[in-house]
Structures are given as structure tokens and as C-alpha cells.
Amino acid sequence: MTKRNFDVWAPRAERVQLILGDDRSPGAIDGTGSGPHTAHPMVVGDDGWWRAGPDAPAWRPGLDYGYLLDGAGPYPDPRSRRQPEGVHGLSRTDDPADYAWHDDQWRGSPIDHAEIYELHVGTFTPEGTLDAAASRLDHLRSIGVTHVELLPVNGFNGTHNWGYDGVAWFTVHEGYGGPDAYRRFVDACHASGLAVIQDVVYNHLGPSGNYLPLFGPYLNDASSNTWGTSVNLDGEGSSEVRRFIIDDALMWLGDYHVDGLRLDAVHALVDGGPVHLLAELAAAVDELSASTGIRRALIAESDLNDPVMFQHRDEGYGLDGQWSDDFHHAVHVNLTGETTGYYADFDSVGALAKVLTRGFFHDGTWSSFRGRVHGIELDRAQTAPWRLVVASQNHDQIGNRAVGDRLTATLSPDDLAIAAALTLLGPFTPMLFMGEEWAASTPWQFFTSHPEPELGRATAEGRIAEFAKMGWDESVVPDPQDPETFERSKLDWSEIDDPEHPEHRAMLSVYRALAAIRATLPPGEELRLSDVHVDFSEEARWLVLERPPIVLAVNLSDAPLDLATIAPRFGAPLFSSHEHLRGEPLPPVLASLAPHSVAVSRL
């Protein structure tokens, strides 16, 4: 994991020179190896790995370096730990051992009882840095968060980006504070009792600064996905490419003390080898967990609705869990009434009921958006629902809308409270998106800062083409390259205490109350999908969810409902969104369920 040498895998080069930047001009590039640089021939082995020759200086922290490949370059190290001058500049050596960690007593946080909070470093705070994010950890603890999930932080071209166009997988974006700031952030999280999950992208590389194909067969030109050429996982040279990915994962989990990884769009990983990359990765992470005594988690973002992701490696990949977008779609449609595009199949209370009891809506059923049968049915008696990570809002489902609008722009506080209760107290692992806990009014839009004008134009045009499938108004799509698009997407923390808009503080109190109830629930491993029961009425638009040891009664209609009739097992109320949002005391017995409200009691 730790890199303390200049070795580089470059089987496509016939000659490689190590370039070291002069201390007087760090990071300067003139493409010749002369002037502010010194060039040192490297020696190749039979495995395609080049190693520094006898005349090269010894590796030490703080050196700027790169490689000339057959006289061209210099190019940064594919395994670079720092890119202080950006993804096109020289790399800089970094030694993790130079940081003094303070988390010796940290033993991890159980993933089966997690409450995950997804945040983007650049827009979470006005400063947009890891150090600034660390100053908000007490707030996260106050709403019951156990795991902080960071959107990708690795190097990308430009100053701001969602992070999914990264090319320097082993680095931390300098604008966020670089490697030391990342270590400080993880250290601070552990000191606060919070685990860290890092979002990583192994299915494609960004369009700018991707020099890996010059070094070796990192890409599979015969296959592509939505974002570009696929990564080479099963062709010639793929063993080293797979090792590259696994070493990157182990770097985050080992060198950076991260507690888990969210694996982006694993359905885009094309792997026809005898052992799927995900199974190989899970085995390596299990070995690391066993050696350190701290359980590291792997969570897949998968569009496949296939339990193979978290089934034991005897029959599956052995990951800990996966995202379930079906939950989001069912909640979204039942609260907003929006039925365009991929929302179409979820237009019923029954769809929400099915998701809550079966995990997936599409489990071998016809998907109108895909135009085919989709998904595999879960074994309810065997599946622990915590293995599905769910959200009523997340970066994809907000940021990939035409104007990046949150549910706040559409729903009343009453309906937002329903979404919060279903997410936090349902049977699955809940994930919140930054700011939803106070009904943030700021959008979260798609933003880029590509220095190349042609790339910026292509990105904007591609977004507009995607929105045509959803029936959204293309004319309102903000320009991703406009700096104001990025600025608009930053959270406004002052909303929490804004006396003119008390609804923000009220919503925050809802999340805190629900989190307090969630904290009393037993670990998720004690629950199976077969333990979850739902009654509902399509016509009267109500739903009663029994997920032991609590019951949720949800009124999606405009009329009050007799609680004893729809939920005879409902006991003394623990929470009522209607009373809570209006500052009314919770009565000892709740007879009626107000329109657009949710109430909770113990079974």
C-alpha cells in the first residue's frame, strides 16, 4: 500500500527516465528533462516494472518527480500520492508515516447499525476543505450519524468537480487540503466516534489528465460505459490493472485509516475473469480487517438489483451491502407524484409497500424505463435488510435532476418528515444527503471546472441529452462550467438559526427526534426481511410498517385517519410529525393520524 520508491509499471514503453524537479523550481515541466529537471535512466524487469537506476537519488518525502516515456512527457506517476500542481503536473512524494495518528483506541463502528451521511467536501462548508468539514462533526453526531461518507476526493482537473471525473486515484485533491488534511479529517472523525466511508470510482477514468494508457493497458478499448472506455479487468495485462485497483482500495483503508468504501457504479465493471474483481477485493479487505482487528466495509452502488453483491463469496462477491435506488423512487413518487422516466413504475402505495418488505421493487419484474425484465428476488428469510443502503435524497437523485432541486423545493415540511421517518426508521441502512436534515433550500447542481473549453461544452451538451429521457425542461439546465453553479450548490448553514424561516430548525428537530428513536433499535443483524410487515390502502393512501420493535403509521392522504382502525397494534406514541412540527405536546394516546403525517410507537 505505502509507496516509498519510484517504481512504475510501464510495459508499453521501450525507454523510461525518472525526472526529478529541481528544488528551485518544483513542478516545472519543459518536456525535455533538461533545465529545472534532472533525468535518470530506469531499468525494466520482465514484469514490465521499471525501477530507478543506480545513479538516481534515494526516495524521500517532498520530492517532485515524473517520467519520460520514450522521450515524451514528463508524466505524473500513476500511483502518485500528491499532485500539488494539478493532474498534469509532476507528482510529489508523500510518506504516511510522517503523520502522527491519534486513533489508537478506535475499533471501528458496526456497519449493521449505521446511519450514513453523504457529503461533498467542496460544497459542505463555505471554505470547501476537509479541515472545515471536520469542524461540523458535532452537528452530525447530533442527528445520530455514525458513518461519514465522502464523495470522491481524488485528483481531478480543475478547481471544483463532483469528483467522479478523477484520474489520479491515489491522491487527495489539493483544493480540499491534500493528504495531511485528509488524515486530520479521519483522525477527527474517529475522535468523535464517527467512522469514515470513502466513495471510490473504479469503473472509468476522467477525460482530462488520464495518462494511464501511455504507461500500460489500463483500459479496454473493446468496451465502454456511460462515462467512457471501460477499465481493463480481464484482458492482456489485466492482472496488474486489478492489482492497481486493489492497492488503491487498501491504501484508503490502511494508510488513511478509512473504515469502508462505497464502490461507484459496479454494474459498469466488465469482468469476464474466473474471479470477479469485487470478490477479489472483498477477500483482500477481509484479510486487512483480520490483521488489524477493525472491520472494514465495502458497499456497492449497483443498478442490478442482484443479491450477488452481498452474498457470501461461496456464491457471491462477499461485499457488505449495496445501494437500493428502488426505495428512493418509491418514496419520491408517493410524496411528489412525479412519474416521468424511471419513476413511472413506482406510482402506487403498493410499490412502496413492496420495497419495504422485499427490498427491491424490480426483482424479476418488467421495468418500463429499461424496456426489459429487471432484478432478482431476495430470499426474505435469509436477507438482513441492513445490507441495503437507502436514501430519500442523495447526490445522484438531486444532482442529476435538471436544476438540482432537493425535495425541499417540492414538498411541505409534513411530507419531508414522512420521507425522513421512512428512511431513518425503516428496516434498511439509512443514508442522509448533506443539508436534508434542516430542509436546506440550496440546490445541489452538476458543476465542473474543466480548463479545456471543448470539454466543458461537451459535458454541458451531454447533460441536456440525458434530461430528454426524463421529460425535463432542457432550457433550465444550469451551465456546469459557470462558477455560479458551484457557488449555488454550497450549503447555507445560517438557515438553521434563521428566525424568519423557523421551518429549518423545526426539520432539524425532527431528524434529531427520529435519530434518538433509531439509537434504541437493536443491531440490524437481528432483523430479516421476513420480519417486516406492511399493511396499506391504495385508495385511502395510507401505509403501516411494522419493523420490530417499532411500527410506523403513514398518512399520505389529505384526510385524517382513525389510527386504531389502520394500525391496531399501534401503542403509546414515541413520535408524531404533526405534533412535532407544530410544537404541540405528544399525547399519551394518539387516536387520529393527521393528513400527510407519520407517527411511531413500539409494537
Catalytic residues: 264, 301
Cα separations in angstroms, 338 against 362, 584, 600: 18, 32, 27
First to last CA, the chain: 49
Task: Count Cβ neighbours within 10 Å for each residue of 176-213 and write b for 16 or more, e otherwise.
Answer: bbbbbbbbbbbbbbbeeebbbbbbbbbbbbbbbbbbbe
- Position 188, amino acid: A
**Residue 253 is placed in which grid cell?**
483503508
Contacts of 434 (CB under 8 A, 6+ apart): 117, 118, 119, 120, 123, 124, 440, 491
φ and ψ at 198, to 5 degrees? Answer: -105, 130
C-alpha gyration radius of the chain: 25
Task: Count Cβ neighbours within 10 Å for each residue of 230-261 and write b for 16 or more, e otherwise.
Answer: bbbbbbeebebbbebbbbbbbbbbbbbbbbbb
Contacts of 67 (CB under 8 A, 6+ apart): 8, 10, 16, 17, 18, 19, 42, 50, 73, 74, 75, 77, 215
Strands (E), 240-393: 260-263, 297-300, 321-323, 365-367, 372-374, 388-390
| Residues counted in the chain | 603
> Measured between alpha carbons, how far is 528 from 531 in angstroms, rounded to an integer?
5
> Measured between alpha carbons, how far is 461 from 439 in angstroms, rounded to an integer?
31
> Measured between alpha carbons, how far is 428 from 477 in angstroms, rounded to an integer?
33
Would you say 588 and 572 are in contact if contact means Cβ atoms under 8 Å apart? yes
Contacts of 320 (CB under 8 A, 6+ apart): 111, 260, 297, 298, 299, 310, 387
- Position 103, amino acid: D
